[in-house]
Structure 1
Amino acid sequence: MNTQRKLAILADAAKYDASCASSGTRSRNSVGGRGIGSTEGSGICHSYAPDGRCISLLKILLTNFCQYDCLYCVNRVTSNVPRARFTVDEVVQLTLDFYRRNCIEGLFLSSGIIQSPDYTMEQVVEVARVLREVHDFRGYIHLKTIPEASPELLQKAGRYADRLSINVELPTVQGLETLAPEKDGAAIRRSMARLRVHIDDAKDAQREAAKTRVMSMPQASARRAPAPVFAPAGQSTQMIVGADATDDRTILSASAQLYGAYRLRRVYYSAFSPIPDASSSLPLAAPPMVREHRLYQADWLMRFYGFAHDEIVPAAADGSTGMLSLDVDPKLAWALAHRERFPVDLDTAPREMLLRVPGLGVKAVERLLVARRVRRVRSDDLARLHVPLKKVLPFVQLVDHRPGRALDAGDLASRFRAAPVQASLFST
C-alpha cells in the first residue's frame, strides 16, 4: 500500500478524536537557520472539518489495527474497515513535508493498540524522538498516550511532546465497563496522576532554574544546562457524549473531578457518531450536535466564570432532568432560573456577579471594572463593548436603564428561545 492510500485511511480513522488543539505550549522558533518549525503559528494554513472544527495539525493514527473491541470505536478489532499502518519514518517524513509546505503547525499522533501497549507506545514515542533529535523539529507535537504503557515510556513521551492526552472515553466507570470492557478506568487515572506529577516537577525545576539565573546574573557565568521540560502544554482528555445514557450533570461532575484532581488543560466532548455494523448496545442515532456545544459552554463556565458544576445542572431533587437546555445557553438558563439575583448593578456589583450576567464575557467584565473607576456605566458603554444588548439589558441596572418588569415577565424565557442569541464560547 502506498503512502497516499495509508494517509487517506489513517487520517480518516483519526477524525473521531476531538482533542487536537495546539494551545498552551512554550514559544519555540527556528533561529539562525537551526532546526525546523515553530509553535508560534505564524503563516499556518488552517482547514476545517465538516463539523466546523479548525484543523492545523497533521492528525493521523500510526495504525488503525487494534486488538481491543471497544463497541463505540470504528477501529475496533471486529470492525470491517480498511486497515493500514505507517512506519515511523513515514510519519516523520509526512510531518516534515506538510510543514515545509505550510499546511500544518505540528503533529497529532494516536494509534490503535498492536502487539502490546508498550510496543505501540514505543513506536509513537520514536516518531517524536526522531522529529526532535534527528530533524530538530520545533513545531507542535501532541501524542495520544496509552495508559497501560509503562511509566518509563510515558515519561519519555513527555520529553518530546508539547501536550499529552489520555482519553477517559466515557464519563462513568459503568459505561466504560459496558462499552469498553478491555480498558481499565483505574489505569487511565493512574497514568493521568503520573503525568501530573511529571508536569509539576518540571515546572518546579524551571522556577528554581529561573531563580538561580537571576541570582547569578551579576557574575560572569558559564552556560548552564536548561531545566527539564515535560509536556509544557499540559495534558487533556476526551469523553464520548451520547454513546450511553449518562446525563449532562454526570458528565460535568466527571469533568470537574478531572480538572481538580489532575489539573487538565482541557476536557473535550465528542458527540457519539454511529458506526457501521454497530452493536445493539449503542444508540441508533447520534445525539444533537448542539448538546456537544452546550457541554463546551458549560465547561467554559466552570473554568473561567466561577460556576460549580452542580450549579449549571441542578440536582434531580430540584426538578432537573439532569440535561442542559438545548434552547438556550447554560449561563442564560441559570440566570432565568435565578431571577432573584438580578438585576445586577454594573457600577457596584463584584466581579464574580458580573461574570454571571448573560452576554458579558470575561474581557467585557474586565473593561467594565476599569471604566467604572472613573465614571458610572451607561448603555452606550455596553454598546461600545459589542455585547449583545438584547441579552444583557434585562439582567442589569445602569444609571440610564432600569429593567423594570421585563425581568419578571413570564415570556422572558420564551423570547430568548424564539430569537436565540448565538454567542461564542468567548463571550458567554
Structure 2
Amino acid sequence: MDLQNKLAILADAAKYDASCASSGSARRTAQAGGIGSTAGMGICHSWTPDGRCVSLLKILLTNFCLYDCKYCVNRVSSNIPRARFSVAEVVQLTLDFYRRNCIEGLFLSSGIIRSPDYTMEQLVGVARSLRLEHGFHGYIHLKTIPDADPALLAQAGLYADRLSINIELPTVQGLAQLAPEKSSASIHHGMGQLHQHIRSAQAERQSAARSAIVSRPQARRTRPARPPVFAPGGHSTQMIVGADAADDGDIILTSARLYSGYGLRRVYYSAFSPIPDASAELPLIAPPLVREHRLYQADWLVRFYGFEAGELVPAGAPGQRMLSLEHDPKLAWALAHRERFPVNLNTAARELLLRVPGLGVPSVDKLLAARRWRQLRRADLERLRVPCARILPFVECLDWHPGRSLDDPRLARRLVQPVAPQPQQASLF
C-alpha cells in the first residue's frame, strides 16, 4: 500500500481520539541544526465535528489490533481496511508536514500489534528518532500502552511532551463489559507510574536549580548537566461517553478522582459514535454532542471555579444523574440553589463571584480590581461585555437589585440559550 493510502486510512482511524490538545508544554526553542517549536499556535487547523481545534498530525501507527473492544472500530473482529506505518514513515511524514507549515507537532496512537511491549517500542522509536536523529523540537504526544514494560513508559516521557493512557470507560463495570481484555487495575497502575515519573523529574530539576543558584560563583568552571525533562506537558486520559450505562454523575466523580489521585493535566470526553457491525450491547444511536459539551463545562468548574465534584452531580438514582442539556452546569447549580443569591458585587468574596452564571475568571478579576477604587454599578457590568441578561438575576450592586426575579418560575425558561452550531470537519488532504 502506498503512503498516501496509508495516511488516508490511519488519519481517519485516529479521529475518535479526542486527547490531542498541545497545551501545557514549553520545550526549548530549536537550536542550530534542529527544527520546530512548541511555542505559539499551529498554522493549519482542522476542526473535529464537535468544535475542537487540531493543529497536529494525528495518526495511528496501525489500525491492526489484537483486542476486541466492542466500542472500537479498529477491534480485531472489525471488517475495515487495515494499514500500518513503519517508524521511518511516521518520522518522514511528520517532518514533511511540519516543513509545509501544516502542523505544529505529532499525536501518535496505535492499535496493539504482537504485544503491548512491541507496540510501545515502535511508538517510542518514532519519538526517539524525531528528537535525536532529526533534532525535532516540536510537540509530540504519545498514547501509551498501559500493559507495556514500565521501562518503555519511562523512555517515552524523555522524548514526548505529553503522554496519555486512556481509561476508556467511566466505571470498572463498563470496562469489564465492553473491553474484557483490558484491566482497570493495569490502567490505573500505568497512570500512577507516569505520575510518579513526572513528580520525580520535577523534583530533580528544582533541586538542580537550587544547587545552581548556591554555586553560581563557580558556574564558569563547572556547569553540571541539567536533569532530563519528563513529559513537560503532563499526562492525560480519555473516556467514552454514552457507550455504557454510566451516567454523568459517574463521569464527573471518576474525573475528580483521576485529577486528585494522578495529577492529570486533562480528562477528555468523547461522545460514543456508532460503528459498523456493532455489538448488541452498544446503543444504536450516539448521545447528543451537547452532553459531551456539558461534561467539559462541569470539568472546567471543578478545575478552575472552585466547585466540588459532588456539587455538580445531579440529583437522582444511580444511572439517572444526568446534567441538564438546556442549561450549562453553573446556571443549573445556581437555579437549584437560589437561596445563595443575589451576590453583592461590592462585598462578595472571589469564590462567590465565580459562582455567578455568566461571570468568568477574567471578568471576576476585573470586577475585583475595579471595586478597590469605587462602588460597582450596573454600568460596570455592561462595560465588561458580559451576558448581563444571565447575570443580573443573580447579583446586586449600588444601583441594581433583582427584586423577586429569582422566585419567578419562568426564570429557567428565559435563560435557556441555543447551542451554537458546530464547525464542519476539515480534511488534511
TM-score (norm 2): 0.95
The answer (yes or no) to whether the contact 1:28–1:139 under 8 Å persists in 2 is no
- Structure 1 CA distance for aligned equivalents of residues 212 and 43 of structure 2: 34
Q: 1:93-147: per-residue Cα shift (whole Å, max 9, x none)?
A: 0000000111000000000000000000000000000000000100000000000
**Unaligned 5+ runs, structure 2:** 423-429
Structure-2 change in CA distance of 1:243 and 1:213 (3 Å): same
Letter in 2 for 1:357: V
Aligned to 2:427: none
- Structure 1 CA distance for aligned equivalents of residues 120 and 42 of structure 2: 32
Aligned to 2:247: 247
The answer (yes or no) to whether the contact 1:71–1:180 under 8 Å persists in 2 is yes
Letter in 1 for 2:404: R
- Structure 2 CA distance for aligned equivalents of residues 347 and 99 of structure 1: 51
Aligned to 1:24: 24
Does 2:291 correspond to 1:291? yes
Aligned to 1:211: 210
Task: Give 3-state SS (helix, strand or coil) of 2:267's partner.
Answer: strand
Structure 1 runs, 4 residues or longer, greater than 3 Å off:
419-422
- Structure 1 CA distance for aligned equivalents of residues 408 and 110 of structure 2: 54
Deviation at 1:303, TM superposition (A): 0.4
Aligned to 2:175: 176
- Structure 2 CA distance for aligned equivalents of residues 112 and 188 of structure 1: 16
How do 1:100-111 residues align onto structure 2 when only pairs under 5 Å count? Answer: 100-111=99-110
The answer (yes or no) to whether the contact 2:245–2:319 under 8 Å persists in 1 is no
**Unaligned 5+ runs, structure 1:** none
C-alpha RMSD over aligned residues: 1.7
- Structure 2 CA distance for aligned equivalents of residues 50 and 114 of structure 1: 29
Letter in 1 for 2:294: R
Structure possessing the higher relative contact order (Cα contacts under 8 Å, 6 or more residues apart): 2
How do 1:192-271 residues align onto structure 2 when only pairs under 5 Å count? Answer: 192-221=191-220, 222-271=222-271
Task: Give 3-state SS (helix, strand or coil) of 1:183's partner.
Answer: coil
Aligned to 2:124: 125
The answer (yes or no) to whether the contact 2:42–2:104 under 8 Å persists in 1 is no
- Structure 1 CA distance for aligned equivalents of residues 10 and 98 of structure 2: 18
Deviation at 1:238, TM superposition (A): 0.2
- Structure 2 CA distance for aligned equivalents of residues 110 and 22 of structure 1: 15
Q: Give identity over the alignment, percent.
A: 69
Structure-2 change in CA distance of 1:320 and 1:355 (3 Å): farther
- Structure 1 CA distance for aligned equivalents of residues 223 and 260 of structure 2: 38
Structure 1, 90-99 or 363-372: larger mean CA deviation: 363-372
Deviation at 1:421, TM superposition (A): 8.1
- Structure 2 CA distance for aligned equivalents of residues 136 and 145 of structure 1: 22
Deviation at 1:371, TM superposition (A): 1.1
How do 1:133-148 residues align onto structure 2 when only pairs under 5 Å count? Answer: 133-148=132-147
Structure 1, 216-225 or 349-358: larger mean CA deviation: 216-225
Structure-2 change in CA distance of 1:43 and 1:170 (3 Å): closer
Letter in 2 for 1:350: A
Letter in 2 for 1:29: T
Structure-2 change in CA distance of 1:388 and 1:9 (3 Å): same
The answer (yes or no) to whether the contact 2:247–2:319 under 8 Å persists in 1 is no
- Structure 2 CA distance for aligned equivalents of residues 226 and 276 of structure 1: 51
Q: 1:209-258: per-residue Cα shift (whole Å, max 9, x none)?
A: 11112122233432321122100000000000000111000110000000
